[in-house]
Chains A and B, each alone.
Chain A
Amino acid sequence: MMTVLVVDDSKIMRAIVKNHFDDMGYACEYIEADNGISALQALGSHSVHLVLLDWNMPQLSGIEFLRKVRAIEQYKNLPIIMVTSESARYNVVEALKSGATDYIIKPINDKNFRDKISKIDFTKVGSKTVK
């Protein structure tokens, strides 16, 4: 079972991301976080295979979360996908430079989502407890 951490301050966006996964037929377990800080906590207490990360969130923004996580050795290879809007193209470059694995442009397009997710190598797991 794959564990996906969905980080977004909007509940409806989190639901949309989850439903995309379900509709793709992935059997996933979801952990949700509505800001960067609770996302960091969630990462510390679960074994996570993939993070979908919104750019703008209160408290700890997506990019700050990304930098913090990448600075930790055990999360160097954890797949993290940045979710950002079409009009914020500069964010994409910044995210990729800061270590995002890939990016998805909102509004999420079915084919695009499928393409990006299927590219992910889920064997590189960043987790606290590797069983």
Chain B
Amino acid sequence: MINFSVRLIKILTTKKFRWVKFVPVLLFAALCALFTLRGGSNRFVYLVLFICVYLLDFFIRIAYDIVIRSKDHHIANLRTTVEIENDRIKVMKDHFKTGMFFMTKEYIIQDQYTKPLEDALGETNLTGKNFTGFLGESVNAKQLETLKDYFNMVIERKFDDAMLEDINPIRKFNYIRGAVKKTLTTSFTAVDQYNGEIFILSNIEDITEAALLQEQLWEEEAKRQEQISLLFEVLQIDPMVCNDFIEDTDYEFDKINSMLKDSNISDKETFKEILTDIYQSVHAIKANAIILGLNTFSFHVHGVETKIKSLIELFDISFEDMLKLSGDIENLIKEKDNFSDAVKKIKQFGEDGEKKKNKDVLIDSLKRACRRTSEDLKKKVEFIADDIDDIIIDAMPRRIIKEVLLQLVRNSVYHGIESPGKRIELGKAETGKITLSIKRVNNNVLVRLQDDGKGLDFAKIEERCKKMHIIKKDEVIKDKNKLLQAIFVPGFSTAEKEDIHAGRGIGLNLVRDRIKEINGNIKLQTEQGKGTVFNIFVPMTKLIN
């Protein structure tokens, strides 16, 4: 019934039937006119009644018109406002610097996305396309499933915003699609639509250019610096030391390559160990490069070292990760080849002179490492090698001894020797001393490296141990030896921040492993304010010949 009347009213208010609304009043008027014309005593009353009804109708019409008019005016105002808003939104959308879009819970991109999205994803006309379809080359199938799980968590608002943002697996990721390679950052939030549907408001930003530009600038500057210093360095360095470097680096690279070749990704535990070995080899290469002042090269090695470190932490190492690592190592080898080419060319100028002794090459390398590190740290250090047995050096595993001593010398300069100002203040000679002796003691070779620096800072080591939770915060240390052991733990470092010389906590760990390799052992003596002595014992049986 109600339906019927609504429909009837609708029909009657159309233009065609507008006259219908006059029907009742006309009928009434006709009736009144009839009575008036018929005469009789009541005709005057009918006349008044007719006029009243007419006036009433007239005023109602006026009121109706006023209401309609103000309504039209209001609608016009609203329309203008909406249009202005629309224009603003459009302008905003067109000028948005990041790719913003809504997607359904089936990951379908809705229209009204911002322009940079097309640039970021490398495709146009994205409306109606599935967002996850764009990620096929950037993430593997398993990761994609996890990502979908993540989107579900966003839609279901399973966790608070901060946590959802924190666990976003593609917060920052390398986007690959055909020839397109980019670094993108993303964020996702659930939004309720007025009709109750939930959409994911997504934001994608392309940070490739910024990242790339910075890298390029940095690399170009470094390359320029490197070329100049390489030229000077190669001219200054004894060809034997250069050969030594090339030989040692080749050895480490060969080791890495054979480890990579033999490695089996599926055996995760062994593979992790292999990666740790590779990490140590790369670290040794870095130490060698630093002695020669190959800054860019050492920075690149440092970068690869960082990547391996994160690979070790990552459990699901993919084949792609390994491929990337091999590529990085390949690049380092190329750089090293450039260096050896330069050395070969220069060597041709001075092919005279007799062959240097192993002892001199070793000491030369250590002196150089000492000088490099101390110059960088603005310290004054003298390296003294006074009591060295030539014959023993010839018989020792040259590379291992060199690696170990390099780490220890750098360590002494970094942690042991104080700054010149501080030394004067303490009443010490301005220049610090690092003394090396290698001699035979009974059935052992004793390699002794001594510095006159500040000694091990037990307070700092203890603090660091507590920070790393190696010991408890309230534990009272009676036996200092417990602390001495800690400095050989992987990852241990008292350096405040990580730089190319220290802070990774790999150096002393490498020393311990290398000495173990030749069945040796290491003893430490230290006295606050007076210095530290590293005594390395290597059994004679381990010597060549």
Which residues of A are in contact with B by a Cβ distance under 8 Å? 12, 15-17, 19-20, 22-23, 55-56, 58, 85-94, 96-97, 103, 106, 108
User: Is B167 a contact partner of A93 (Cβ separation < 8 A)?
Assistant: yes
- The answer, among B167, B310, B311, B470, for a CB contact under 8 Å with A15, is B470
Q: How far is the CB of A129 from chain B (nearest CB, A)?
A: 30
Which B residues lie within 8 Å of A23 (CB)?
A: 469, 472-474
User: Is A96 a contact partner of B472 (Cβ separation < 8 A)?
Assistant: no
Q: How far is the CB of B166 from chain A (nearest CB, A)?
A: 8
| Additional A-B contact list (18), CB under 8 Å, known A16-B469, A90-B146 | A16-B470, A17-B469, A22-B473, A22-B474, A23-B473, A58-B269, A87-B310, A87-B311, A87-B314, A88-B315, A93-B149, A93-B150, A93-B167, A96-B159, A97-B146, A97-B153, A103-B167, A108-B469
Alpha-carbon distance A15/B169, docked complex (angstroms): 29
Q: How far is the CB of B450 from chain A (nearest CB, A)?
A: 31
Q: How far is the CB of B308 from chain A (nearest CB, A)?
A: 11
State whether the Cβ of B422 lies closer than 8 Å to any Cβ in chain A: no
Which 7 A-B residue pairs are closest in the complex by CB-CB distance?
A85-B313, A19-B469, A56-B315, A16-B469, A23-B473, A87-B314, A87-B310
Which B residues lie within 8 Å of A56 (CB)?
A: 268, 315
Q: How far is the CB of B483 from chain A (nearest CB, A)?
A: 15
Alpha-carbon distance A115/B149, docked complex (angstroms): 25
Alpha-carbon distance A57/B142, docked complex (angstroms): 20
Q: How far is the CB of A109 from chain B (nearest CB, A)?
A: 11
Which A residues lie within 8 Å of B167 (CB)?
A: 89, 92-93, 96, 103
Q: A90-B146, A93-B153, A106-B313 are in contact. Are A19 and B169 (CB under 8 A)?
A: no
State whether the Cβ of B89 lies closer than 8 Å to any Cβ in chain A: no
Which B residues lie within 8 Å of A16 (CB)?
A: 468-470
Which residues of B are in contact with A by a Cβ distance under 8 Å? 142-143, 146-147, 149-150, 153, 158-159, 167-169, 171, 268-269, 310-311, 313-316, 468-474, 489
Alpha-carbon distance A55/B153, docked complex (angstroms): 21
User: Is A94 a contact partner of B171 (Cβ separation < 8 A)?
Assistant: no
Alpha-carbon distance A103/B311, docked complex (angstroms): 20
Which B residues lie within 8 Å of A92 (CB)?
A: 167, 169
Alpha-carbon distance A7/B474, docked complex (angstroms): 24
Alpha-carbon distance A87/B313, docked complex (angstroms): 7
Q: How far is the CB of A26 from chain B (nearest CB, A)?
A: 13
Which A residues lie within 8 Å of B146 (CB)?
A: 90, 93-94, 97
Alpha-carbon distance A91/B167, docked complex (angstroms): 9
Q: How far is the CB of B161 from chain A (nearest CB, A)?
A: 15
User: Is A20 a contact partner of B149 (Cβ separation < 8 A)?
Assistant: no
Alpha-carbon distance A87/B171, docked complex (angstroms): 12
Name A84's closest neighbour in chain B (CB-CB): B315
Alpha-carbon distance A90/B314, docked complex (angstroms): 11
Alpha-carbon distance A92/B469, docked complex (angstroms): 24
Q: How far is the CB of A105 from chain B (nearest CB, A)?
A: 9
Q: A89-B171, A93-B150, A94-B149 are in contact. Are A20 and B313 (CB under 8 A)?
A: no
Alpha-carbon distance A19/B475, docked complex (angstroms): 10
Which A residues lie within 8 Å of B311 (CB)?
A: 87
Alpha-carbon distance A22/B471, docked complex (angstroms): 11
Which A residues lie within 8 Å of B168 (CB)?
A: 89
Which B residues lie within 8 Å of A96 (CB)?
A: 153, 158-159, 167
Q: How far is the CB of A59 from chain B (nearest CB, A)?
A: 11
Which A residues lie within 8 Å of B268 (CB)?
A: 56
Which B residues lie within 8 Å of A85 (CB)?
A: 313-315
Alpha-carbon distance A92/B169, docked complex (angstroms): 8
Q: How far is the CB of B75 from chain A (nearest CB, A)?
A: 49
- The answer, among A97, A103, A108, for a CB contact under 8 Å with B149, is A97
Alpha-carbon distance A19/B472, docked complex (angstroms): 6
Alpha-carbon distance A55/B469, docked complex (angstroms): 20
User: Is B171 a contact partner of A86 (Cβ separation < 8 A)?
Assistant: no
- The answer, among B169, B171, B470, B473, for a CB contact under 8 Å with A12, is B470
Query: What are 5 inter-chain pairs, A to B, with CB distance below 8 A?
Result: A19-B469, A88-B316, A96-B158, A97-B146, A106-B313
Alpha-carbon distance A17/B311, docked complex (angstroms): 22
User: Is B469 a contact partner of A20 (Cβ separation < 8 A)?
Assistant: yes
Q: A93-B146, A94-B149, A96-B153 are in contact. Are A88 and B470 (CB under 8 A)?
A: no
Which B residues lie within 8 Å of A20 (CB)?
A: 469
Which B residues lie within 8 Å of A94 (CB)?
A: 146, 149
Q: How far is the CB of A68 from chain B (nearest CB, A)?
A: 19
User: Is B471 a contact partner of A19 (Cβ separation < 8 A)?
Assistant: yes
> Which among B142, B168, B315 has the highest number of chain A CB atoms within 10 Å?
B315
Name B151's closest neighbour in chain A (CB-CB): A93
Alpha-carbon distance A12/B468, docked complex (angstroms): 10
Alpha-carbon distance A97/B153, docked complex (angstroms): 8
Alpha-carbon distance A19/B474, docked complex (angstroms): 10
Which A residues lie within 8 Å of B473 (CB)?
A: 19, 22-23
Which B residues lie within 8 Å of A15 (CB)?
A: 469-470
